[in-house]
């Protein structure tokens, strides 16, 4: 067993659900209301000055060690539609349009976006998550698909009139299911939030996801947003305001995607921002680019897809939930037909910790309970072997 191969596995996997084909649903009960009044533009956490300096140093070291600059690549997108009954139901076409807007917004950056999967969950609690909440954590732990190799995009109606937020790449390891982007479903192309209905909220948030700060993280004080050619601001430029508060003469960068302009105003990333995104991905999200696309409508982890004859296509390995766990966690999977199944738990050094299943199982869904027992805290690798096919997921035990 190769621990390096095991560590590259997905944390969780979900089978996509057939897309809903109706309309937007009833926006009257969704917050923020149509018209865009009182919206909170972005809930992404601001970096501390110390964080900004640390990130700049890490990217600087990376540049010094490389002779060639990175050139972007294709990012697979796993879309999770969270609804509350009919509220929040968006069409597959709207999701495809959102991917198109992402590709338009990032057309000069070298990054491309490809829709990998769509799944749909009806949950009134998760429908109104907020950044940093326990609801957000539980939703992402349950729904996230292979965060190291996929951009997970969550569509819902966030609490507190938030339009969206993202997880900055430096806050945790790339396998963390908290990584991803959350946007209000009303901001998709053709949505009902006036001023923010062209899909560019997702462009703003994906900019954060790829390593960009706001244009005003510390007002007019150092270290700024860390990008030399991005004009700094003393405060957020809302809507289409101009010429207000740059610390040097001129207009605020109201056309920049990382400002707070409305969708009609924002149209650009600077060359320095493009360089920062490509460097941040190389340093903090090294597994994100070049992931295997979806196969036959099923989500397959990259190493699983390399299995001979793609034998894993019809196997669903959803991993552990909850994850991380304290005392016990359920490991879920399904097999397409009756066959020999083995489910084992290994340490990161490749030592066998537990054998949970080693038997002939019928076709269908199955689960196994992993109890912490005398296992020490840390990360473990779950290895599911079905016939000749093998799939892996990781799980974290926290005491």
Residue extent(s) of CATH 3.40.390.10 domains in the chain: 17-284
Terminal Cα distance for the chain, rounded: 27
Three-state secondary structure of the chain:
CCHHHHHCCECCCCCCCCCCCCCCCCHHHCCCCCCCCCCECCCCCCCCHHHHHHHHHHHHHHHHHCCCCCCCEEEEEEEEEEEECCECCCCHHHHHHHHHHHHHHCCCCCEEEEEEEEEEEECCCHHHCCCCCHHHHHHHHHHCCCCCCEEEEEEECCCCCECEEECCHHHCCCCCCCCCEEEEHHHCCCCCCCCCCCCHHHHHHHHHHCCCCCCCEEEECCCCCCCCCCCCCCCCCEECCCCCCCCCCCCCCCCECCCEECCCCCCECCHHHHHHHHHHHHHHCCCCCCCCCCECCECCCHHHHCCHHHCCCCCEEEEEECCCECCEEEEEEEECCCEEEEEEEECCCCCEEEEEEEEEECCEEEEEEEECCCCCCEEEEEEEEECCEEEEEEEEECC
Average pLDDT value over all residues in the chain: 78
Q: Above 80 in pLDDT, residue 45?
A: yes
Q: Above 60 in pLDDT, residue 381?
A: yes
Would you please indicate which residues are annotated as catalytic (active-site) residues?
A: 205
Choice between 133 and 378, residue whose per-residue pLDDT is larger? 133
| Count, residues in the chain | 399
pLDDT tens for 148-170 read 889 999 999 999 889 999 999 98
Answer whether 0.85 is exceeded by the pTM: no
**Who contacts 321 (Cβ-Cβ below 8 Å, separation ≥6)?**
12, 141, 142, 329, 330, 332
**Is residue 39 a contact partner of residue 32, using CB atoms and an 8 Å limit?**
yes
pLDDT tens for 327-348 read 888 898 888 888 899 999 998 7
Choice between 14 and 292, residue whose per-residue pLDDT is larger? 292
**According to the CATH classification, is domain 302-397 in 1.10.540.10?**
no
Specify the pLDDT at position 110. 93
Confidence band of 377 (pLDDT split at 50, 70, 90): confident
Distances from the Cα of 41 to the Cα of 160, 200, 205, 276, angstroms: 11, 11, 10, 23
Residue extent(s) of CATH 2.60.40.3080 domains in the chain: 302-397
Take residue 339 and report the two structure tokens written for it.
Answer: 């066959």
- CATH, domain range 17-284: 3.40.390.10
Q: Above 50 in pLDDT, residue 370?
A: yes
Choice between 258 and 206, residue whose per-residue pLDDT is larger? 206
Choice between 103 and 268, residue whose per-residue pLDDT is larger? 103
Strand partners, 295: 298
């Amino acid at each position: 067993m190769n621990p390096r191969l095991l560590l590259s596995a997905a944390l969780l996997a979900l089978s996509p659900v057939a897309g809903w084909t109706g309309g937007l649903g009833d926006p009257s009960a969704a917050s923020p209301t149509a018209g865009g009044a009182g919206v909170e533009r972005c809930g992404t956490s601001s970096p501390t000055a110390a964080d900004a300096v640390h990130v700049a140093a890490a990217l600087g070291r990376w540049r010094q060690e490389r002779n060639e600059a990175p050139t972007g690549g294709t990012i697979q997108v796993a879309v999770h539609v969270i609804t509350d009954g009919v509220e929040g139901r968006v069409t597959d076409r709207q999701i495809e349009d959102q991917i198109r807007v992402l590709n338009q917004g990032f057309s000069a950056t070298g990054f491309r976006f490809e829709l990998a999967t769509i799944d749909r969950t009806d949950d009134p609690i998760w429908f109104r998550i907020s950044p940093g909440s326990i609801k957000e954590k539980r939703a992402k732990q349950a729904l996230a698909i292979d965060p190291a190799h996929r951009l997970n995009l969550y569509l819902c109606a966030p609490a507190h009139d938030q339009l969206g937020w993202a997880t900055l790449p430096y806050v945790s390891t790339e396998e963390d299911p908290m990584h991803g982007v959350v946007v209000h479903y009303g901001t998709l192309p053709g949505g009902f939030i006036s001023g923010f209905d062209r899909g560019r909220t997702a462009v703003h948030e994906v900019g954060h996801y790829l390593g960009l700060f706001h244009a005003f993280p510390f007002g007019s004080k150092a270290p700024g947003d860390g990008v030399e050619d991005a004009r700094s601001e003393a405060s957020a430029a809302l809507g289409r305001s101009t010429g207000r508060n740059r610390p040097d003469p001129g207009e605020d960068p109201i056309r920049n995607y990382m400002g707070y302009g409305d969708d009609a105003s924002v149209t650009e990333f600077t060359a320095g921002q493009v360089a920062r995104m490509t460097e941040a991905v190389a340093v903090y999200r090294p597994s994100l680019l070049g992931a295997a696309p979806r196969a036959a409508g099923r989500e397959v982890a990259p190493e699983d897809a390399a299995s001979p004859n793609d034998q894993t296509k019809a196997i669903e390995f959803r991993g552990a939930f909850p994850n991380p766990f304290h005392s016990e966690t359920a490991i879920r999977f399904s097999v397409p037909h009756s066959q020999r199944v083995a489910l084992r738990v290994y340490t990161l050094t490749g030592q066998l910790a537990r054998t949970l299943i080693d038997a002939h199982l019928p076709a269908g869904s199955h689960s196994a309970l992993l109890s912490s027992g005398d296992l020490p805290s840390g990360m473990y690798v779950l290895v599911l072997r079905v016939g000749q096919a093998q799939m892996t997921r990781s799980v974290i035990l926290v005491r």
